[in-house]
Chains A and B, each alone.
Chain A
């Protein structure tokens, strides 16, 4: 959220609620709606570290609002963010540990674990398909977000399949 807010402010000054709306419009309803309280807390922290500055603006019939703008330090931070590549997604390590350790515990069957995990992934995949169908088709960013989640899930499902092929007792 921190860097996303900085990036939104690179375009020009804005107040907290505007930033929330910008984010929603960009990412569509697929993205879990950022909570406005979270946004204000993050803005407060960014201001404390000198990456943005806020300016109180008086409003006639409502409490003052604070308009934020990016500082030079903030712009440098953002530039550095764009300079580096992002980390790779990680294997579902909690599930992997469960699977790897199952035979030693005698508490769970590996194939049953895989089957249960697959059901969960498939249900999530189904929700994502439905979301992709209901989300505005013209919002490419939002569609790409959903497609990315589906492709990751597909890779996880393929990997479960490999686990099952390897671990299934030959009969």
Chain B
């Protein structure tokens, strides 16, 4: 298990380095950051001054290695746009995304797994069809549209919840529900298909024949085997949710990481973009590694035990 863990961590480190180098390069492919920072009213002279002030006139490799050197010392640099430390900006926005992503994920999981199990018990039955309808709708309806409709109905018409911002916990209600609804279908469907497969196997029939209570057959015997693909998928979904949904954060005016990443890209705020990308790649790497480890724990075949 230790060798397996070390191998996974080495791959994870390579992924982080590759992602940060690639994103650094892409920033320069999109356009000259100095011109972007100077803005639509900036003259060539203004851009030249910015290029010099922020060191964009140095070779790309020197700039990248300089950034890596600072990051290794725990310094993400200053935001060009906000003129304040990047860590301070990220720290201010991380909680919003963490709450939004964490609560949405929990809600999606709490709905998806039981619904998937119930649907799998009688494939083609009424519950199954309703669950699939709910899932297909969730996958098909764009979250920005759903978000806006939720704002109109619950915020504007009925005034039940705040329509924007996260000044109070109520501000999270609509975005959490909308985000969870977009994350739920995939998890529900994979639980359902996994359960249908497992429930048809001989050992489940044996368990039922032994007279075990239904819940024990499902939770104790079937779910443990059906859950393996769900663990991998859930880790990815949590990664997506924790990266901050640009759409949801924009629609509900939440000041999270997703919006920060998107807006920093538009204004060529290189230090912020680099920091956010590194953090997000770390989140993904940690989650996928964790999912692999959980799967290895659940299924001895994965960790090579014979």
Chains A and B are bound partners = no
